[in-house]
Chain A
Amino acid sequence: MAMEPSDSELIQAVRNGDASSFEPLVRKYSPRIFAMARRYARRESEVEDIAQEVWLKAFQKLGGFRGEAPFEHWLMRLAVRTCYDFLRAHQRNRETTFTELTPEEGEWLDRCGTAPDEAEDSASAARSLVRRVMEQLSPPARLIITLLEIEERSVREIAELTGWSATLVKVRAFRARAEMRRLIGKLERGKYL
């Protein structure tokens, strides 16, 4: 059985003019790109647009890939920045108020307030509440909360992925947490009004 070419061999072939060598790279890394895009975009057409843009940018900028870090890291940096651009471009469309909570969501919040241990983390109500809160966060806050709190990445990793300095990441994380607390407060007030 023939051995599959490595990433660096495929990249070299693309650089030498063989564009078809790009296809195995697209096939190999697209699941990761799609998973990342689905954290920031809800509609499937938007997810696909993000993934497509990432790959087009990757192809155009492949000349700038120096091979010091694995291709996957370089690609993920490109993907994070594309997702952030997407959030910024669509920030006008983000909702500014919470629409009415469903009975399940209200019940989950109630239970969280009275008996927190009984409120299941895996409940679908909790997941939809998180989505509501995330959709109202500003683009930098949403990116930071996703990378830091949900994906549990370190400040250094986030700085590398976003191109921001570590200090800026910390400042933005502080602001993002405050923004999130404010939104949860709004959610609770809305519930009991």
Chain B
Amino acid sequence: MNHIQQKLMTAARQDLPDDRVPYAFEKRIMARLKSVTPFDFRLVWERSLWRAAAPCVGITLLLGAWSALMPGGDISSDLSQDLENTVLAAVDVDNSIDSP
């Protein structure tokens, strides 16, 4: 069987494929290309950003509605004080470590 396989492979190697190109093939390709846009990274990036915008807005609205409607356990009324405490929390920790 190996003999036959070798013979067949030799026959296949000798049977070179035709490289003939149909008449005016390149003209047909150029006509087709008019409807095709080349890959443009900036355009793809812009499109994906726009596609991502709607889900982001949706998630923001959902989270906003959830935080507004859920009954809060221990919410203080002074939001500005809460924000300041949160922002300065890291500084407070640093100070407590530095002080002897």
Which residues of A are in contact with B by a Cβ distance under 8 Å?
A: 14-15, 19-20, 22-23, 26-27, 30-32, 34-36, 38-39, 48, 51-52, 55-56, 59-64, 109, 112-113, 116, 119, 121-123, 126-127, 129-130, 133-134, 149-150, 152, 180-181, 184-185, 188
Q: What's the dominant secondary structure at chain A's contact region?
A: helix
Among residues of A, the one whose C-beta sits closest to the C-beta of B10 is A121
CB pair B33–A56 under 8 Å, yes or no, is yes
Q: Is B36 an interface residue (CB 8 A)?
A: yes
Indicate if the CB atoms of B26 and A26 lie closer than 8 Å: yes
Binds A, one of B13-21, B45-53, B56-64, B90-98: B13-21
Give the interface SS of chain B, mostly helix, strand, loop or mixed. helix
> Which residues of A are found within 8 Å of B38, using beta-carbon distances?
14-15, 19, 59-60, 62-63
What residues of B have a CB within 8 angstroms of the CB of A51 in the complex? 21, 25
Whether the Cβ atoms of A130 and B4 lie closer than 8 Å is: no
Contact of B13 among A38, A134, A152, A180 (CB under 8 A): A152
CB distance B4 to A150 under 8 Å?
Answer: no
Q: How large is the interface on B (under 10, 10 to 19, 20 to 34, 35 or more residues)?
A: 20 to 34
B40 sits at the interface (CB 8 A): yes
Assembled-state Cα–Cα distance A168/B71 (Å): 58
Given A30-B26, A112-B4, CB of A150 within 8 Å of CB of B13: yes
- Whether A38 pairs with B18 at a CB distance below 8 angstroms is yes
B11 close to chain A: CB less than 8 A: yes
Indicate if B81 sits at the interface (CB-CB under 8 A). Answer: no
The distance in angstroms between the C-alpha atoms of A34 and B20, with both chains bound, is 7
B3 to chain A, nearest CB (A): 5
Compute how far the CA of A35 lies from the CA of B19 in the bound complex, rounded to whole angstroms: 4
